[in-house]
Structure 1
Amino acid sequence: MSGLAGKSVIVTGSSSGIGEATAILFARKGCNVTLCGQDSGRLQEAEEKCKQAGAAGGHTNRFIAVAGDMTDSGVRKKVVQDTQAAFGRLDVLVANHGVLMGGALPDLSEIDYDTTMDINLKSTVFLIKEALPYLEMTKGSIVCVSSIFSTMTGPNLLPYFLSKAATDHLVRCLAVQLGPKGIRVNAVNPSGVNTRIARFLGDSGDPDAVDKVFGPNTPLAGQASGAQEQADVIAFLVSEEARFITGQCLVVDGGLGLKGNPFNWLPQQGSS
């Protein structure tokens, strides 16, 4: 993947999982990286990993971290302004932050609905708005992390499904709107990825639940995706090789979705 060295990148939700793997990959590619997350301890650990990854290129000082809740307009503003102040430019925005919560309609609370939509959708919209003037200067690129469940149905997680469907359409709408400005907007749509957000699977937060549930049902290699598979595609989408790709929601699921809706065979919460 060419054209990444020297670019300045914001990766939200980068204290673990897909975001952390993406931030580290950009560090390895010679990028300046702003990491964002709510857990300051894990965020610091992720920043240290970026410094180690970037050490070979002699740029351990090209990383900053901003801790905070992306639903806070002040935090969104700080993320963008601190990036501009530290690196003098913004080339790439990866909107990876998100939450997975909420149940079926009879049990759905307004709090869970509002929290999910605020984190997964609203904060992404207004983070992009905050970053837009700087992305215009560099003819930059945006990648949103969506989900294969954006086009599927299920018995639970209603607000999550809705937020990801809206994210896909946000990508399409912004691609049309921002294309004339030279800004590309795409998404990756993972299936079950072995990250902290999927701890709801299995009993007692089993760290191997994703592999156990999704792995045997994934046609490609019979294993669930790791964070690195998603990070590699994100990096491709903002690279020079993807310069004519915009408005696309790229499914990265090892063929899982080809077997039909996973919620036809996924175990329900609390089931054995």
Structure 2
Amino acid sequence: MADLKGKSVIVTGASSGIGEATAIFFAKKGSSVTLNGRDSNRLQDAIAKCKAAASEAGHTDNRFLGVLGDVTDSAVRDDLVEQTAKTFGKIDVLVVNHAVVLKDDTFDGVTEEGFDETINVNVKSALFLVKRAVPELERSRGCVVCVSSIASLCVTKQGLFCYTISKAAMDHMARCLALELGPKGIRVNCTNPTYVKTRIFRDAVPDPAQNDATAEIFAKATPLKGPESGTEEQAEVIGFLASDAARFISGQCVAVDGALLRRGNPLNCIDQEAR
């Protein structure tokens, strides 16, 4: 995907997990990247990794910018767009990766405050960040890639009640945006990752043994055998959807799950097995 060289990219939630891996992937391909996160130390560490990856790949002309803050704040969204456009001269790619998972994300545990927080972070802020970036993306005929979840493509997932609802909303938001923004030359797609052991789930379920058990169950249930999906595999698909090789792909939700979804609704089966 040589066409990513020279691209100007924004990645939210870039200080860990899939977001960090995505920023590093673009750095390796010669893109200039704006990384957003809420933890200053982790954000600076991610920027350092991007610089090292770019240097190792022989890219010396790409640049990296960190914008600290919570994208639920409109001022942070403004900063992301304005600083990127000012520093790199354009915006080609917006990767909407930030998300939240509540610690007790169950029907019994749901509160109005928790539901509002999930929708505000996972859907509302994503929508208004895209809207804020549209003028720049229209100038570059750029694209948006939203990072959703395979949970959104199933009927339910026990223990991810609000999260699953929010990701289903994100999927359909991407479809609607593809329709709205297509006439402006802007593509919008989603990736739907399988379970990946990242900080977002470690924070929601802090027991390492439980996270390891979940990963083992997913690996066992996944039809495609081989190494389990990590952040790098997810980043590569995001990079493909952002590249010119995908220039006629828009309004799609791409499951990156090793055919796990072909089991029908595997997540409920996994819940039963876990018991």
Name the TM-score class by shorter chain.
over 0.9
Question: What TM-score does the superposition give when structure 1 sets the normalisation length?
Answer: 0.93
Partner of residue 39, structure 1: 39
Bigger shift: 52-61 or 167-176?
52-61
What's the counterpart of residue 224 of structure 1?
228
Q: Could you say which residue in structure 2 is the equivalent of 1:186?
A: 189
Give yes or no for contact 1:70–1:119 (8 Å, CA) kept in 2. Answer: yes
Q: Please give the secondary structure, in 1, of the residue aligned with 2:4.
A: coil
By percentage of residues, which structure has more helix? 2
State which of 258, 261, 265 in structure 2 corresponds to 1:257. 261
**Could you tell me whether the CA contact under 8 Å between 1:96 and 1:145 is conserved in 2?**
yes
Q: Which residue of 2 aligns with 1:15?
A: 15
Q: CA RMSD in A?
A: 1.9
User: 2:68 matched to which residue of 1?
Assistant: 67
Write out per-residue CA displacement over residues 220-267 of structure 1, whole angstroms, 9 at most, x where no aligned residue. 125531011110000000111111100000010011111232332334
Is 1:129–2:131 an aligned residue pair? yes
Distance 1:198 1:76 in 2: 24
Distance in 1, matches of 2:114 and 2:27, equals 35
CA contact (8 A) 1:199 1:205 kept: yes
Q: What secondary structure does 2:52 align onto?
A: helix
CA distance in structure 2 between the partners assigned to 1:145 and 1:195 by the alignment:
14
1:145-184 equivalences in 2 (<5 Å): 145-152=147-154, 153-184=156-187
* C-alpha separation in 1, matches of 2:106 and 2:74: 30
Which residue of structure 1 aligns with residue 245 of structure 2? Answer: 241
State the aligned residue count.
270
Query: Deviations 1:155-213 (Å, cap 9, x if unpaired)?
Result: 33221111111111111111111111110000000110121122268772346344323
Q: Deviations over 1:45-74 (max 9, x none)?
A: 110000011114342760011111111111
In the alignment, what sits opposite 2:25?
25
Q: Is contact 1:99-1:116 (8 Å) kept? A: yes
SS at the partner of 1:266? helix
Contact 2:151 2:267 in 1 (8 A): no
8 A Cα contact 1:192 1:198, kept in partner: no
% identical aligned pairs:
54
Q: TM-score, normalised by structure 2?
A: 0.92
| 5+ residue gaps, structure 2 | none
User: 1:70 and 1:200 mapped to 2: Cα distance?
Assistant: 19
- Distance across 2 between alignment mates of 1:200 and 1:99: 10
1:34 and 1:202, CA in 2 relative to 1: closer, same or farther beyond 3 A?
Answer: closer
Which of 135, 142, 145 is matched with 1:140 structurally? Answer: 142
- Amino acid corresponding to residue 122 of structure 1 in structure 2: K
Report if aligned partners of 2:30, 2:62 keep a CA contact under 8 Å in 1.
Answer: no
Distance of aligned partners of 1:202 and 1:260 in 2 relative to their CA distance in 1, 3 Å threshold: farther
Q: Note closer, same or farther for the CA distance 1:214–1:253 as it changes in structure 2 (3 Å cut).
A: same
SS in structure 2 of the partner of residue 188 of structure 1: strand
Q: Do the aligned partners of residues 208 and 50 (structure 1) sit closer, same or farther apart at CA in structure 2, a change above 3 Å counting?
A: same
Structure 1: runs of 5+ lacking an equivalent: none
